[in-house]
Chains A and B, each alone.
Chain A
Amino acid sequence: MNLKKLFTSYRGLFSSITQKLVIVVVALGIIMLILGIAGYDPLFLLQGLGRGLNKDIGGTIRWTAPLILCGLAIAIPLKAGVFNMGVDGQLYLGAITSTAIGLLLFGKLAPILIIFIAIIGGMLAGMIWALIPGLFRVLWGTDEVITTLLMNYVALLATDFLVLGPLRGEGATGTTYSTNSLDPSLWLPRIIPRTSTNIGFIFAIILAIIAAIVLYKTTLGYEIKLVGTNSIFARYAGIRSKKVIILTFLISGAMAGLTGAIEIFGVHHRFPGRFNPGLGFDGVVVSLLASNNPIAVMFSGFLFGLLRNGAMNMERVTEIPRSMSDIVQAFIIMTATATFATYRLKGKFREIFRKLKKYLHYKTTSSSSEEA
């Protein structure tokens, strides 16, 4: 296969990667402009990002892991047309369940077994929390965007109740409430010493690859695609759409619950009340930028991990607030959605151009005929 042919067959891929890069660069450009206007040195942002790639790569990867997992938790159901906005709630329930298992079983079983049971327990909790809106959707057609969003609050307050009540740790005060710490023998192994970077990152990478295989190589992936692209067609062809939709809810909930368990066993080592900085919503952005492709989710997860970490570093060394990273994310969402809009606008512009051209042509021909 010659080079030209190779390029043409992957032209779609190249152009979409270029498009994504443009989105990111434009968003960064805008944020640097804002920093400048606000009176800060715009280069601090680049410095913060540079540190996140170099000295503090551990911090970047620490955030990359949950962002990839949450990105997958959004991307997989979206392939079937399901919008699970409840990743945060499922994550909280997964986290609290695994914490409880870790605290209650400690000393009764081998640590490795406890970790295993805790992670499975966390995933199951996330799945159950996702199954409820899933059943609502397939049985009564309830819009899952609403139900999953609302169930986030229930989950959050339920964990509040548990952490302030039955699972309340010693020495926890009203504002910094948390459970007791897990025994260090239960902590997930670190892959970079003296950082919070743990083997959760490896889990995330493996799961992203598995997700890609399932979505693109298996019958389930094919069914998900059919249901997501045209549910009427799927029904007509005899696909069990309800089963497929429930499955994607369950997979998504499992991913979210796993993220919660990894955050606890790998990073916090206890359940600090309201510890989740909105990873579920970040997952939406990660998935959006990756066009719901699991392989691309790995890269966009890394990018947002870098942003989050970079912004935290920036705050550490300068007086620029961390919320700037939220603003960067917001701009990436806006630029990403704006590109979708321009696709639609393109046609309009073309029509205007055509009319303009016709008009100019008419003018020139009529004036030239006058001259003649």
Chain B
Amino acid sequence: MTHEVVVKMQGIRKVFARVVANNNVDLEIRRGEVHGLIGENGAGKSTLMNILYGLHQPDEGSIEVDGNPVEIKSPLDAIKLGIGMVHQHFMLVRSMTVLENIILGNTPTKGGFIDKAKAKQKIEKIMDMYGLKIDLDSRVYQISVGQMQRVEIIKAIYRGAKVLILDEPTAVLTPLEIDELFVVIKEMAKQGCSIVFITHKLKEVMAVTDNITVMRRGVVTGFVKAEDTNTRQLASMMVGRDVVFQVEKTEATPENVVLELVNVNAINDRGLKCLKDVNIEIRKGEIVGIAGVEGNGQTELIEVITGMRPFQDGRIRLVGKDIKSLSIRERRDLGISHIPEDRLVIGVSKDCSIEENLIVLRYRDRDISINNFMQRKTIEDYCWNLIDRFDIKVASGKDPITFLSGGNMQKVIIARELDANPTLLVAGQPTRGVDVGAIEFIHTQLIAMRDEGVGILLVSSEIDEILSLSDRIYVLYEGEIAGNLVNENINEVELGLIMTGSIQKVAGTSP
């Protein structure tokens, strides 16, 4: 097997509105190799590949294909250069047949008519070559997700892809389908294709790749041969060891149980099982962190607790009271506060003012409204009180909430949720996308709430945040509690291994 370099990316830098997604990234893809690209969500893997596929333009850096410098302005350019990509979300026309989907945009014609026979012949050759079997005449809505992925792969090869980018291909597959995919990937590599395999599951990367590039926060933190490494080393490269936050806090004094989840099972929007027999317990006066790579059930866990997602079986109790059948409003009235993961979509109404966003949990209270009439003056006073207490930088409460920076907008949400006097606070990614000053402020507030006796569930994809704030930690992996740790002398590498599904560590009972 030759080892010539087919794609060489050098010094790639890409900045999205203040966020550095890629910084001085180098990547080499050789002929006939399976190249693993791993890292946490937001590490910059997808950005890098979108640049290679022409979906984004790099701010700096160069790309060479087969030794020639190229400029890839669109996916069309990428396809011409033999680069294909299979996205996480398939781009197929559901009502059309598999064959029609494959030849869409690259249709062989004969006298103005589609030459289906010729197309079929060409596709069957590809299928034989790589062992990709699929019925060409079934319609896309009839086939399974795994088969749709095959259609996407065949489509890319049909268009002449020599380098195939697979963006988290296993996320949507069943274990059996994953095994089948690996066989196909290995066969393709043997035939001289190069494959970039994006994932954050270390077992998979060890099983199928030749070389591995690790990314973290927009930079490459490691390049290794798969045979020379192990999951432990990869985990430490992926998670990193630099602790940025240091929060001062005293020993927690947990009291009685606030929230209890017993064998909770739930399905996600795609109809797949996303929570499997989850048992969680949160006590008054402690911060319980949920660690895990994003997409392993954290979002659904938050939704199940706050009432935004109904679930199948299992029990959920708030201070001993069964709340499974209660609405969001009833749960809020019982004292659940919720800092949502997606600030802009869930946490605020962008077309409303700062005041309107601040009073949403209290507008029915006495004084804020009397006989259903909103009391302008009381609202103003109430909001200014919060604005001062939480140090929110605003000119006027009447301004649209979108005038605020990410950090101040998050403070609006936190002020609102904390002022509701919760017994349980569910905090999803409370410091995502906010500046360092606001992070410190938010952390201090969370600790203060804990010391006042609130039970806090902290979901974060920042391991450092989990480690510095939590008293206990649960690790979610593929919807299961893969780890259950007390936050004393936690080995970060071990945590990384649990998060990536390499090991499990569940203690019998929590303290």
Chain A interface residues (CB < 8 Å from chain B): 217-222, 225-226, 229-230, 232-240
Contact = CB atoms under 8 A, between A and B. Distances in A.
A235 B306 CA distance: 11
A218 B372 CA distance: 5
12 contacts: A218-B369, A218-B373, A219-B372, A222-B356, A225-B352, A226-B349, A230-B345, A230-B350, A233-B347, A235-B328, A237-B361, A239-B360
Contact of B349 (A217, A219, A230): A230
Shortest Cβ-Cβ A-B pairs, 4 listed: A238-B329, A230-B349, A229-B351, A237-B360
Nearest to B369: A219
Interface in B354-370: 356, 360-361, 363-364, 369
Interface of B: 306, 308, 327-329, 331-333, 338, 340, 345-352, 356, 360-361, 363-364, 369, 372-374
A219 B363 CA distance: 7
Contacts of A222: 356, 363, 374
A232 B345 CA distance: 7
B308 A236 contact: yes
Contact of A229 (B345, B352, B373): B352
A232 B332 CA distance: 16
Contact of B352 (A220, A226, A235, A240): A226
Contacts of A233: 345-349, 360
Contacts of A220: 372
A343 to B, nearest CB: 14
A240 B364 CA distance: 13
Contact of B346 (A217, A229, A236, A239): A236
B479 to A, nearest CB: 23
A219 B349 CA distance: 16
A237 B337 CA distance: 9
Contacts of A235: 308, 328
Contacts of B373: 217-219
A229 B350 contact: yes
A347 B405 CA distance: 21
A233 B350 CA distance: 10
A220 B369 CA distance: 11
A28 B432 CA distance: 51
A225 B348 contact: no
B368 to A, nearest CB: 9
A121 to B, nearest CB: 27
Contacts of A230: 345, 348-352
A240 B329 contact: yes
A334 B493 CA distance: 62
Contact of A218 (B306, B333, B347, B374): B374
Given A225-B349, A233-B360, A238-B327, 20 more contacts: A219-B363, A219-B369, A219-B373, A222-B356, A225-B352, A225-B356, A226-B349, A226-B352, A226-B360, A230-B348, A230-B349, A230-B351, A232-B345, A232-B346, A233-B347, A236-B308, A236-B338, A237-B360, A238-B331, A239-B360
A355 to B, nearest CB: 14
Contacts, number: 65
Given A219-B364, A222-B356, A236 B340 contact: yes
A102 to B, nearest CB: 35
Contacts of B328: 235-236, 238
Contacts of B363: 219, 222
B374 A217 contact: yes
B423 to A, nearest CB: 16
A236 to B, nearest CB: 5
A257 B351 CA distance: 31
Nearest to B379: A222
Nearest to A234: B349
A238 B346 CA distance: 12
Nearest to A221: B374
Contact of A238 (B349, B351, B361, B374): B361
Contacts of A217: 373-374
Contacts of B352: 225-226, 229-230
Contacts of B346: 232-233, 236
Contacts of B345: 230, 232-233
A240 B327 CA distance: 10
A238 B351 CA distance: 18
Contact of A219 (B327, B348, B374): B374
Given A217-B373, A219-B372, A229 B349 contact: yes
Contacts of A234: 349
A217 B371 CA distance: 11
A215 to B, nearest CB: 11
Nearest to B332: A238
B115 to A, nearest CB: 40
A216 to B, nearest CB: 9
B109 to A, nearest CB: 36
Nearest to A214: B372
A104 to B, nearest CB: 37
A245 to B, nearest CB: 15
A229 B344 CA distance: 12
A218 B369 CA distance: 8
Nearest to A236: B346
B329 to A, nearest CB: 3
Which of B346, B349, B363, B373 is most buried by chain A, counting CB atoms within 10 A of its CB?
B349
Contacts of B340: 236
A220 B372 CA distance: 7
A232 B369 CA distance: 23
Contacts of B351: 229-230
Nearest to A216: B374
Nearest to B340: A236
A236 B349 contact: no
Contacts of B360: 226, 233, 237, 239
Contacts of B374: 217-219, 221-222
Which of B306, B329, B333 is most buried by chain A, counting CB atoms within 10 A of its CB?
B329
B402 to A, nearest CB: 11
Nearest to B348: A233
A235 B369 CA distance: 20
A240 B329 CA distance: 8
B378 to A, nearest CB: 13
Nearest to B306: A236
A229 B308 CA distance: 19
Nearest to A223: B363
B59 to A, nearest CB: 16
A347 B219 CA distance: 32
Which of B333, B350, B373 is most buried by chain A, counting CB atoms within 10 A of its CB?
B373
A326 to B, nearest CB: 33
A222 B373 CA distance: 10
Contacts of B372: 218-220
A218 B364 CA distance: 10
